[in-house]
Amino acid sequence: MPTPERRAVIAAVIAAVIVDVALLCLFAATGRRSHAEGVTPAGIADTAWPFVAGAAVGWMLSRGWRRPAAVVPTGVTVWISTVAVGMLLRRVTGAGTAWSFVVVATVAAGLLILGWRIVAVGVSRRRRRSVP
């Protein structure tokens, strides 16, 4: 049975992975809606999977389980891998990789993947300062 500290670490990693995947699915759903494609679970999964796979590569490369909410290295590595691997997978599967989409996906993924981590770091710092 893991210690309470170990359970807390595991929970933090699971939560961070869930947030990353959920935000990438939100990105996919938003894109599908803006292009009048079906916003169904299957459609979202079809659009999101290359980026989720890229995020998984980023988690492995950064060893994200060590510092799941860290902007650097975890967040930046997950962001770059999400876009690079995601676009590569889209290209090899015949999905669109127009330059305008690459730019939008890069900016959106950066805002989402780095954004929640920046907020989390700020909240954590604020809580530590307010503890007497």
Average pLDDT, the chain: 95
Question: How large a percentage of the chain has pLDDT more than 90?
Answer: 86
Tens of pLDDT, residues 52-105? 999 999 999 999 999 999 999 999 999 999 999 999 999 999 998 999 999 999
Count of CB atoms situated within 10 Å of the CB of 58: 25
pLDDT level of residue 132 (50, 70, 90 thresholds):
low
Q: d(Cα 56, Cα 10) in Å, to the nearest integer?
A: 16
pLDDT level of residue 2 (50, 70, 90 thresholds):
confident
- Tell me 48's DSSP state: H
CB 83 within 8 A of CB 106: yes
The mean pLDDT value for 37-60 works out to: 95
* Stretch among 48-52, 57-61, 109-113, 121-125 having the lowest mean pLDDT: 121-125
How much is the pLDDT for 96? 87
How much is the pLDDT for 131? 67
Tokens at 39, concatenated: 């916003």
Query: What sign for the dihedral angle of Cα 61, 18, 54, 102?
Result: negative
Tokens at 91, concatenated: 């290209």
